[in-house]
Chain A
Amino acid sequence: MKSEVKKENSMILQKEMIEGLFNDLANAKANGRKVCYTFVPGNLSELIRTFDMLPVYPEINALQNAMRKKSAAYIKEAEKHAHSEDVCTYVKCDVGMLLKGNIGPTGQKLPEPDVLLLSYTGCFTFMKWFETLKREYPDTTVIMLHTPYQENGKMTPEMTQYMVKQFHEEVIPKMEAVSGIKFDEEKLKKHLELSKESEDWITKIFDTTKHRPSPIDAYFAGVYYIGPINIGFRGTQEAVDYYKALYAEIQERIQLGLGPVTPEGEMSEEKYRLVVEGPPNWTSFREFWKIFYDMGAVIVASSYTKVGGVYDLGWRHNPEKPLESLAEYCMNCYTNLNLPQRVDLLSKCIAEYGADGYVTNSIKSCNSFSAGQLAMMREIEDKLEVPVGFIESDLVDPRYFSYSNIKNRLESYFQMLAQRKMMKELANQPSNT
């Protein structure tokens, strides 16, 4: 691997935004800012900003700690305190970090939460996670926003109504009480207007993979692209500016006929175009990416980049119906879709982005994603006759990342893809007879 990682301008811009957030968090208590712990899927960034609070995302801390090789120690610490080896490693990494003094990924101490805002979206573990945190922070207010699952593949008016009632009866009154700020619907609307704009941009960005070669990698680089929209910047001018800059950068790459920028450098030849299902492995993120890079594989779409919101199908925040819009946003996150919806969404990506194959990275400790992945894979293979691949790793537990196993499996998969491609090309050649 190259020792120096090549960085795009947008990455530098994003780094500054995130560093700013962590600095604000480090000084929150001194500056009298209230702190809201919450999760990425179904995150209510606009509402948190309306009450002038700062967000903390425990799963983002966990993944950042993993990328900085700190997660193993935190997980062991949690396991010493009766946390099972079997369960979500994000939870254990977060609990371990808390037990070790709550020093965040940037080395600064994270402030204690004033409120735990649980917009429980497509992941039961979130619920258990905040039950655990409530015991650690007994004086903290907990707000539970129950998001109904799209069991029938649609958001019904009664589901939206249920959520709006929760906003009126639970969420907003408690946010007002914690923040000491009265709810201002006009302020929320302005944030939602900016959210809509960011969502337009990010859709356009992920749509650029239709080009050949694809100018971006929609999984490994995609996780950076979704950073601002997922972690508290959605609904701000900063996020809009970031996505505008990123889009301009990508347009330039398209005009120059360039492939994606990777930590190893620019991808020179696009051999395979893939759609990937499931979160990435964070502890060996770069090695993981390099396996694909070495094979000339570009990810043209991934389900993971939709975990904080599915915008591909045209859904946008609507400032005219602010609370309904927040409700729909929560219900419309990827893991809150039922399996047939997920299959349809991924099939659409495979078809529209001209993917050669479909790969599942099954995460040991994330049932929200993993339970059902084999059935989805079978369905996609049957429906689209696309070659499917399957690998297993974990979110932030390095004990469950086996480089050789994954490499072997992927090499076999790429051999199969190469063979299929060759056969397809032969079949398309004009006959000499």
Chain B
Amino acid sequence: MLDFKQLIKECKELAFDLNFTRAKRWKEEAPGRVVVGYMPVYFPREVLHAAGALPVAIFGGGDKKQVIRGDAYYQSYICHIPRSTLDIVLDGQTAHFDGYIFPSICDVIRNLSGIFKLNNIGKFIKYMDFPQNFLPEVGGVFYQQEMQHVMHYVQEINNKTVTTADLNHSIALYNKNRQLIERIYEIRQHYPWRMTIEEVYYVLRAGTVIPVEEHNQILEQVCNHIEQNIGEPQDKVKVVISGAFCEQPSIGLIKSIEEAGCYVVDDDYMLGSRMILGDISATTNSPLEAIAHAYIYQSQYSSSIYDVSNPKENRLAEIAKKRGADGVLFASASFCDPSLLDAPIFQKAFDKMGIRYIAFQFSENINQYKVIKEQVGAFSDSIKLWEDESVHIS
């Protein structure tokens, strides 16, 4: 067993390995294995796992990849993630991927699926149209059909028929995964000094590029470690970060927030890994229906899901309250329509609810954090130094 530091170091390497070496090795370990890349936010990875495929998240190049070719595909006023993704793919760093899935996040990612099609990248390209209708007999059925398409694509490559038992087994593994991740957040809610948000990020992001079985082992080790009484608390305020659900900020920025006087007790960085709240039934005869029901009834709020029957502002306020947060940081990727269009909704509601917040924008390759750090520092100071009592979120 690796010590904690070594474990985090390995997770960091896995998380930012833009050659996706672990996926390549996994594929080579046995014949008939299929690797499928998917764009961020949520995708029901259980389905790919059951079909004998390894789901691998592509979160763009961050500050680790210089964008050259991607700029020829996207105008300057379009967000950063699709261009660095194209650079990764066109440079052959995903040559071992069999197919690609584009969940319905926004217009940019939707049209990125078209660019992949025009360039004949991969054996299959699937735009995964998540239902915006939340009736199980309507949207739920459509969602099951979408998942069946995915399984069909994989089956065309590996000839494997997916059974109910396969799906239930995969669901159980991902249930375990979500439980362990939630455990980390629960511990950090009370003892955020035991593990930094940077370390949490490495651990969660590593889980999106390796088999779930391996990730569950890592998560268990992390939980065991932070269940111990370790570290010293610092005088920091607790915050929740929202808005970075697709394009990811660079590590420097993630670190800066805690260095500027905040403990990040919840976030939407790796939203896809935490999208389903609670378990999905793993013992049914209709596992696809169970996944669809979980999407309909147990999804976390997201800028890419229509929400009028369950307003996002109330859900975020609830998270802030549950975590005992002192405030919320709205972090949106530049030119990210879904996140930026949510901002006025959140801010108007939070003004009414009396929840403190600040907002800033980033891009995945940003390496100048000073302004954001100062902004976050001022936010944290204003709470620590000048407020007599904490604001109660009702």
Contacts and interface: CB of A to CB of B under 8 A. Distances in A.
B114 A375 contact: yes
A391 to B, nearest CB: 11
Interface string A338-367: 111011000000000000000000101101
A343 B133 contact: no
Contact of B337 (A124, A130, A134): A124
A131 B306 contact: yes
Contacts of B349: 135
Q: Which of B127, B303, B306, B349 has the most CB of A within 10 A?
A: B306
Interface string A161-186: 01001100110000000000000000
Contacts of B113: 151, 338
A426 B343 CA distance: 59
B342 A367 contact: no
Given A81-B348, A362-B75, A364-B77, A338 B117 contact: yes
A86 B111 contact: no
B341 A379 contact: no
Interface string B191-204: 00000000000000
A83 interface: yes
* A-side interface mostly: helix
B266 to A, nearest CB: 22
Given A146-B131, A338-B117, A340-B114, A123 B107 contact: yes
Interface string A15-38: 000000000000000000000000
Contacts of A83: 340-341, 343-344
Contacts of A129: 341
A169 B344 contact: no
A146 B75 contact: no
Interface stretch (B138-146, B215-223, B321-329): B138-146
A108 to B, nearest CB: 27
Interface in A142-199: 142, 144, 146, 148-149, 151, 158, 162, 165-166, 169-170
A148 B142 contact: yes
Contacts of A364: 75, 77
A162 B348 contact: no
B139 A146 contact: yes
Contacts of A368: 107, 111
Interface in B356-394: 359, 361
A233 to B, nearest CB: 28
Nearest to B77: A364
Contacts of B75: 362, 364, 370, 373-374, 392
Given A169-B135, A338-B117, A371-B108, A81 B344 contact: yes
B341 A91 contact: yes
A82 interface: yes
Given A162-B138, A338-B117, A151 B340 contact: no
Contacts of B110: 124, 149, 371
Contacts of A318: none
B111 A372 contact: yes
A374 B344 contact: no
B308 A142 contact: yes
Given A124-B106, A343-B118, A131 B307 contact: yes
Contacts of B132: 120, 127, 144, 146
Q: Which of A339, A365, A372 has the most CB of B within 10 A?
A: A372
A162 B141 contact: yes
A141 to B, nearest CB: 10
Size category of the A interface is 35 or more
A151 B127 contact: yes
Interface in B109-143: 110-115, 117-119, 126-127, 129, 131-133, 135, 137-139, 141-142
Given A131-B308, A132-B344, A374-B73, A86 B135 contact: no
Contacts of A134: 308
A412 interface: no
A372 B308 contact: no
A125 interface: yes
Interface in A295-345: 338-340, 342-343
Contacts of B335: 86
B118 A86 contact: no
Contact of A379 (B118, B138, B304): B118
A87 B112 CA distance: 19
B104 interface: yes
Given A144-B133, A151-B129, A338-B114, A165 B138 contact: yes
A124 B304 contact: yes
A354 B154 CA distance: 43
Contact of B145 (A142, A158, A338): A158
Given A339-B111, A374-B72, A135 B78 contact: no
B287 to A, nearest CB: 19
B141 A135 contact: no
Given A339-B117, A340-B118, A371 B74 contact: yes
Contacts of A375: 73, 114-115, 118-119
Given A170-B135, A367-B78, A82 B347 contact: yes
Contacts of A124: 104, 106-107, 110, 304, 337-338
A84 B343 contact: yes
A367 B359 CA distance: 23
Given A162-B145, A339-B111, 7 more contacts: A82-B347, A84-B341, A131-B345, A132-B345, A162-B141, A339-B114, A372-B73
19 contacts: A81-B344, A81-B348, A84-B332, A84-B340, A123-B107, A124-B106, A124-B338, A131-B307, A135-B348, A148-B129, A151-B129, A165-B138, A170-B133, A371-B78, A371-B107, A372-B112, A372-B115, A374-B75, A376-B118
A-B residue pairs, 3 tightest by C-beta: A339-B114, A151-B127, A372-B111
